[in-house]
Structure formats: structure tokens, C-alpha cells
């Protein structure tokens, strides 16, 4: 065969429909992840703990400190540090402020997971139609970026990105000869371990499933063992030094917060597996696809799905999004669109010159159905950052109050922050210690690395404390008696009430009771925030 004919053959393999859907997926995915961040002044939701860890790493000359002083809790600095090094060096080298990096970098990393998934799907699947549609669905699954675009995504998104790339490399290692992908898998696996603890667990599980179903040979077993040993060795400077200082207890404590409870497992039966905002099209299609695969006696995807759930339930909804995307796409390609084409138009004879897109959308009704689903997927995906950017960002009034606290009050004071929010979705409470240097007794971030029982106790007591916003001052006294904790100040972010003319900030019911008790006095009051000093 001549060189010219070889080039022509390669060109015929180039699928414009797949490339078009990939580019569309990347653009739409980037838009829904990043666009709502542009008008903001602050990261979404969490990241205060990681912000403090990064700052202390920079202050320590990029040598890992033994503890983190965040919220005066002396948290062991045993969290996988790659994200902190990356963010800290990026800030130091470019002058980009840490807050801006925490605002935008997670969404950028979350966008990069789309091409990473495409690489995995391209090598895993035979059907170009399923490859293309699964990439489009993956880009627009709300569960795929719900937590990644938040400030804490500097580690979560980084870990998920390296997890997908590691699984792609492991798949290639198991299906191709040579040592190239042994080396790449070892490097990517190490980066995954150094990025996020949950990423490491799910990546090991995914790699094991790939080996069992797609690469179960003696050669691949040896390759896998080499990769495992290399990852352990390459990541050892971090985990060995952490264990030498703190022992195994912080790791065991964090492992115990992974959601290993029957209530968490039963939650997966709610079918909203993709965390969609409206009708759960993707989740329902994926469940149908699950049984469709098992009916065909194809067990790779079902086992990968359930292995994610059983290995680490808390973050499983993120790590099984590749499976959900593929299963939903397979149902659309194999069942839904063929049925629509059969009912909506006359059968069209197969034509080798026709692309898979022409075959899939051969009828007018199929084109309308595809357009409807695409619009729905975009709307459902867009709703997530839209809501998060409006409800889960520290308000300007709170930032002003934080600065006032830092400037006007003595250090090492104990605060109670009352916001009425869930402790895990309360950016004001998490960022308060990071930006003021003071101690919020109700902040739970970081306790998962101390003792599991203490984290769960803090979660319960912090949730109960927020109920006090609609009670009276006795509620705070009861909380104080039950926890044995004493506080110097009470910080209250006022109640946001939605009215016809817009959002109005009004005092919580507890605020009048605090003044009437005589035990508290107002030392700071604005339209959004009130701070009370405890009279002693």
C-alpha cells in the first residue's frame, strides 16, 4: 500500500460526527461549569480549610507542617498534599491570589475531566454513537460537577481528573503490549493518591474491575503488581512521613466518615443518580441500561457501578458518573432512537456511506427527540451552578463583618456562628476561621481527621445549634450545657426571606430573646449581620 493510500485510509477513519459531539460537549461542559463563576467575588461553598492549609504550606517554605492551625483545632496535616502544592506554587509564581484560584481552578479542572472521560470511553467502547453520546451526557451530568466546582474542588476535581486518566491508562496497559502504559499508569496513579483520598479508593476499585473483566492474564497481573508497587513507593514520601508523625489514627478516622451506613446505601434507590434538577432522565436511562447490560450477560459496567457504591458510598455518586453516562447512552443508541425511528418514519435501508449520526437520527421525530433531550440536559446542568452561585457563596456583608472581627476583637476568641444552614453547606461557617483566625465552635471541617466519633458528634451538635435560630436564648444555654463548650461571641447572619419584591434580610427569632435575656449585648450590627458579646 502506498503512503498516499495509507493517508487516505486514516482520513476515512476520522469521524466528523464524533469530533463535533466531543467539541460540543467540551464547550457546553465548560460553559455550565465556569459561566456562573465569572460575576462572583468568592469561591462557591467550601474550601476554607484547604485555603488555610495552602497558606500554611506556603508560609512553611513548602515543607509540610505537622498540624493545621485552622479553627484552633490542631488538625493533623495528613491530607494528600498535591492540590495544595499546585495551588500554592501557582499563586507564588503568578501572583494570582489564592481566593481567585480557589474560585476558578476547580471548575477548570472539572472541565478537563470531559476529555479524560472521552479517552476512557473511546478505548472502552466499540460503538462510535455510544462514545459520542456518553461524552455529551457525561459533560452535562450535574453529579459530575456538583461538588467539583466548589472551592474544595481544588483537591476533589484534581483527584477525579487523575482518577479518570489512571483508569484510561490501566485499560490501555491491559489491552496493549509493552511497558509504556505501565509507566504512565504508575505516574498517574501516584498523582491520584496524592490528590484526594476518595479518588485513590475508587481508582483502585475501578482498576481492579478493569483487570478482572478486560485484562485477566499473567502478564497483566505482573504489570498491575509493578504499578501498585511503584505507586506505593512514589507516594511514600507523603504517607510515610505522615504516619511517622501521627500514626494511622487520622487515616482510620477519615476512612470511617465514608458513609458506610445503611441509610446512605438505601439513598441510591432514589433513582436521582445524576443529581438532576428536573425530570431524572439520565438516572432512569442508566438504570434501564443496567438491566439491559445484565440481560446481555455483560457484567463489567454493573460490577463497576456497584463496586463504587460498596467501596466508598459517600462519594460514589461522583465516581460512578462514567458508568451512568455510558449506560444512558447505550439505552439511547440501542433502544430509544431505533424505536423512535421505527415508529416515526419508514425504514431506511442501511448505507455504508451514512454516518452513525445519520442512522441514529434518520427520522424527523428522532431529531426532535434528540434536540429536546439536549436542551433538557443543558437546562438541568446549568441549574446546579446557577443555584450554587446564588445560595452557597459568602456574602459581602459577611466578608465585611469578618474584617471587622479581625481588626477590632482580640485573638483566640470562641464564636458561635448561627446561619440556619446545613453544616456541610454553610460557607460562612467554614470560611470564618480561615479569614479571621478566630474559632467557630460549630465548624466541623477538619474533625474527620481527628477522630471519627468526634466528627459525627460535631456534625450532630452543629446541626442542632442551627435550629436555635428559630428558638430562644435558652436553646444556646442548653447547647452549652450539652457540649461543655463556652463561647465569647455569637455571630448571626440574618434570615434571608424570599418575597415578591426580592430577598429581604430580617432578624432570626432568637435575636430578640438574646437581648431580652440581658446576657448578650450587640457590638456589631449591619443589614446582614449581628454580633453579640456574651456578658460575663
Residue-wise pLDDT for 134-178, tens only, equals 999 999 999 999 999 999 999 999 999 999 999 999 999 999 999
The 3 state secondary structure assigned to 460-497 is HHHHHHHHHHHCCHHHHHHHHHHHCCCCCEEEEECEEE
228-241 per-position pLDDT tens digit? 999 999 999 999 99
Strand partners, 533: 489, 521
Distance in angstroms (rounded) separating the CA atoms of residues 355 and 352: 8
Distance in angstroms (rounded) separating the CA atoms of residues 56 and 482: 33
The average pLDDT across 325-334 equals 96
Between 349 and 338, the more confident residue is: 338
Distance in angstroms (rounded) separating the CA atoms of residues 256 and 254: 5
336 and 403 belong to one structural domain: no
3 state SS of 362: coil
Distance in angstroms (rounded) separating the CA atoms of residues 536 and 534: 6
Whether 104 maps to a domain, the answer reads yes
Distance in angstroms (rounded) separating the CA atoms of residues 55 and 64: 11
3 state SS of 285: helix
The average pLDDT across 311-324 equals 90
The average pLDDT across 292-304 equals 95
10 and 152 belong to one structural domain: yes
**Confidence label for 268 from pLDDT (cuts 50, 70 and 90):** low
Distance in angstroms (rounded) separating the CA atoms of residues 286 and 327: 5
162, 199 Cβ separation under 8 angstroms: yes
Whether 391 maps to a domain, the answer reads no
Query: What are the residues whose beta carbons fall under 8 Å from the beta carbon of 185, sequence distance 6 or more?
Result: 166, 169, 170, 173, 227
Query: What are the residues whose beta carbons fall under 8 Å from the beta carbon of 89, sequence distance 6 or more?
Result: 62
351-379 per-position pLDDT tens digit? 556 778 888 888 889 899 999 999 999 99
**Confidence label for 3 from pLDDT (cuts 50, 70 and 90):** very low
Q: Is the four-CA dihedral 190, 320, 250, 461 of positive or negative sign?
A: positive
355 and 221 belong to one structural domain: yes
Whether 267 maps to a domain, the answer reads yes
Q: Please determine, for residue 417, whether its predicted confidence score (pLDDT) is greater than 70.
A: yes
**Confidence label for 2 from pLDDT (cuts 50, 70 and 90):** very low
Main-chain phi, psi angles of 72, to 5 degrees: 60, 30
Query: Which of 366, 386, 406 lies at the terminal end of a domain, its last residue?
Result: 386
**CA-based end-to-end distance of the chain:** 92
Distance in angstroms (rounded) separating the CA atoms of residues 120 and 316: 18
301 and 435 belong to one structural domain: no
Query: Which of 386, 410, 425 lies at the terminal end of a domain, its last residue?
Result: 386
345 and 438 belong to one structural domain: no
Query: What are the residues whose beta carbons fall under 8 Å from the beta carbon of 121, sequence distance 6 or more?
Result: 130, 131, 134, 135, 138, 322, 325, 326
398, 529 Cβ separation under 8 angstroms: yes
Predicted local distance difference test score (pLDDT) of residue 444: 85
Number of residues that make up the chain:
536
Predicted local distance difference test score (pLDDT) of residue 7: 41
Domain count, the chain: 2
Query: Which of 386, 406, 438 lies at the terminal end of a domain, its last residue?
Result: 386
Distance in angstroms (rounded) separating the CA atoms of residues 458 and 451: 11
365 and 477 belong to one structural domain: no
61-118 per-position pLDDT tens digit? 999 999 998 988 888 999 999 999 999 999 999 999 999 999 999 999 999 999 999 9
Using DSSP bridges, classify how beta strands 495-499 and 502-506 pair: parallel, antiparallel or unpaired: antiparallel
**Confidence label for 273 from pLDDT (cuts 50, 70 and 90):** low
Average pLDDT value for the chain: 88
Predicted local distance difference test score (pLDDT) of residue 8: 36
DSSP 497: E
Whether 426 maps to a domain, the answer reads yes
The average pLDDT across 272-289 equals 81
286 and 412 belong to one structural domain: no
352 and 247 belong to one structural domain: yes
419 and 366 belong to one structural domain: no
49 and 132 belong to one structural domain: yes
146 and 197 belong to one structural domain: yes
3 state SS of 279: coil
Domain that holds residue 61: 3-386
Whether 9 maps to a domain, the answer reads yes
422-459 per-position pLDDT tens digit? 888 899 999 999 999 999 998 888 887 776 556 777 78
Q: Cβ of 15: how many Cβ atoms within 10 Å?
A: 17
Whether 196 maps to a domain, the answer reads yes
Share of the chain above pLDDT 90, in %: 67
416 and 313 belong to one structural domain: no
DSSP element (H, E) containing 506: strand 502-506
Range scoring the smallest mean pLDDT among 15-19, 47-51, 341-345: 341-345
Predicted local distance difference test score (pLDDT) of residue 502: 65
Q: Cell triple for residue 471? A: 428558638
Amino acid at each position: 500500500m502506498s503512503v498516499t493510500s495509507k493517508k487516505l485510509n486514516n482520513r476515512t477513519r476520522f469521524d466528523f460526527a464524533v469530533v463535533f459531539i466531543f467539541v460540543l460537549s467540551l464547550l457546553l461542559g465548560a460553559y455550565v461549569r465556569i459561566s456562573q463563576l465569572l460575576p462572583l467575588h468568592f469561591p462557591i461553598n467550601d474550601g476554607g480549610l484547604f485555603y488555610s492549609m495552602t497558606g500554611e504550606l506556603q508560609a512553611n517554605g513548602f515543607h509540610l507542617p505537622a498540624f493545621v492551625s485552622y479553627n484552633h483545632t490542631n488538625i493533623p496535616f495528613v491530607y494528600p498534599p498535591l492540590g495544595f502544592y499546585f495551588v500554592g506554587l501557582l499563586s507564588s509564581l503568578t501572583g494570582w491570589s489564592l481566593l481567585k484560584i480557589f474560585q476558578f481552578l476547580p471548575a477548570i479542572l472539572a472541565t478537563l475531566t470531559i476529555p479524560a472521560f472521552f479517552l476512557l470511553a473511546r478505548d472502552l467502547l466499540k460503538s462510535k454513537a455510544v462514545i459520542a453520546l456518553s461524552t455529551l451526557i457525561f459533560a452535562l451530568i450535574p453529579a459530575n460537577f456538583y461538588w467539583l466546582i466548589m472551592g474544595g474542588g481544588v483537591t476533589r476535581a484534581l483527584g477525579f481528573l487523575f482518577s479518570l486518566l489512571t483508569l484510561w491508562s490501566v485499560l490501555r496497559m491491559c489491552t496493549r503490549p509493552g511497558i509504556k502504559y505501565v509507566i504512565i499508569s504508575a505516574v498517574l496513579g501516584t498523582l491520584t493518591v496524592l490528590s484526594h483520598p476518595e479518588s485513590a479508593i475508587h481508582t483502585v476499585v475501578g482498576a481492579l474491575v478493569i483487570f478482572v473483566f478486560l485484562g485477566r492474564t499473567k502478564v497483566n497481573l505482573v504489570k498491575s503488581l509493578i504499578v501498585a508497587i511503584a505507586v506505593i513507593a512514589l507516594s511514600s514520601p507523603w504517607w510515610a512521613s505522615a504516619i511517622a508523625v501521627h500514626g494511622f489514627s487520622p487515616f482510620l478516622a477519615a476512612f470511617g466518615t465514608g458513609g458506610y451506613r445503611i441509610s446512605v446505601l438505601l439513598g441510591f434507590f432514589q433513582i436521582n443518580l445524576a443529581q438532576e434538577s428536573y425530570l431524572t432522565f439520565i438516572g432512569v436511562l442508566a438504570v434501564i441500561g443496567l438491566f439491559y447490560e445484565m440481560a446481555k450477560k455483560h457484567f463489567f459496567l454493573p460490577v463497576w457501578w456497584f463496586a463504587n457504591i460498596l467501596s466508598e458510598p459517600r462519594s460514589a455518586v461522583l465516581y460512578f458518573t462514567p458508568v451512568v453516562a455510558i449506560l444512558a447512552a447505550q439505552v439511547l443508541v440501542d433502544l430509544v432512537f431505533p424505536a423512535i425511528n421505527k415508529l416515526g418514519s419508514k425504514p431506511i435501508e442501511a448505507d455504508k456511506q451514512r454516518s452513525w449520526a445519520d442512522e441514529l437520527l434518520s427520522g424527523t421525530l428522532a431529531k426532535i427527540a434528540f434536540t429536546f433531550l439536549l436542551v433538557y440536559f443543558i437546562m438541568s446542568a446549568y441549574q446546579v451552578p446557577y443555584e450554587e452561585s446564588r445560595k452557597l457563596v459568602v456574602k459581602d456583608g459577611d466578608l465585611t463583618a469578618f474584617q471587622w472581627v479581625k481588626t477590632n476583637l482580640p485573638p483566640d476568641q470562641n464564636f458561635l456562628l448561627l446561619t440556619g444552614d446545613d453544616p456541610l453547606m454553610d460557607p460562612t461557617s467554614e470560611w470564618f476561621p480561615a479569614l479571621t483566625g478566630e474559632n467557630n465552635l460549630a465548624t466541623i471541617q477538619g474533625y474527620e481527621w481527628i477522630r471519627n466519633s468526634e466528627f459525627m458528634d460535631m456534625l450532630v451538635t452543629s446541626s442542632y445549634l442551627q435550629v436555635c435560630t428559630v428558638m430562644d436564648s435558652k436553646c444556646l444555654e442548653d447547647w452549652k450545657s450539652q457540649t461543655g463548650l463556652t463561647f465569647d461571641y455569637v455571630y448571626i447572619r440574618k434570615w434571608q426571606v424570599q418575597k415578591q419584591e426580592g430577598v429581604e434580610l430580617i432578624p432570626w427569632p432568637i435575636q430578640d430573646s438574646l437581648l431580652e435575656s440581658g446576657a448578650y449585648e450587640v457590638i456589631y450590627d449591619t443589614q446582614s449581620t449581628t454580633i453579640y458579646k456574651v456578658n460575663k
